[in-house]
Amino acid sequence: MSTVLNVLLPIFGLILVGYICRRTNRLGPTAASEMNRFVVWLGLPALLFSLTAKADWAQIWQPGFLLAFTGGMLAVFLVTLAYRWQTTGSLVDASIDGLSAGYANTGYIGIPLCVLVLGEEGMAPALIASLLVVCVLFGLAVVCIEVGLQSKKGLGGAIVQVVTALLKNPLVVAPLLGAAWAFGGVQMPAALDEFLRLLGAATVPCALVSLGLFLAQRQSGPSEGAWPLVALKLVLQPLVTWFIAFVLLDLPAFWAHAALLLSALPTGTGPFMLAEYYQRQAALVSRAILFSTLGSLLTLSLILLAINP
Alpha carbons 227 and 266: distance in angstroms, whole number: 12
Determine contact, residues 258/126, Cβ cutoff 8 Å: yes
pLDDT at 156: 59
Determine contact, residues 122/114, Cβ cutoff 8 Å: yes
In angstroms, the first-to-last Cα distance of the chain is 13
Domain regions of the chain by residue span: 1-307
Nearest 5 degrees, angle CA 8-CA 207-CA 177?
A: 115
pLDDT at 285: 87
Question: Of 215, 216, 236, 220, which is closest to residue 291 (Cα–Cα)?
Answer: 215
pTM over 0.75: yes
Residues 69-101: tens digit of each pLDDT: 999 999 999 999 999 999 888 888 899 999 999
Q: Does domain 1-307 have CATH number 3.40.50.740?
A: no
Average confidence (pLDDT) per 10 residues, the chain, 309 residues: 71 87 91 85 85 74 92 96 89 92 84 77 82 83 83 58 69 82 88 93 84 74 76 95 95 93 89 82 84 86 78
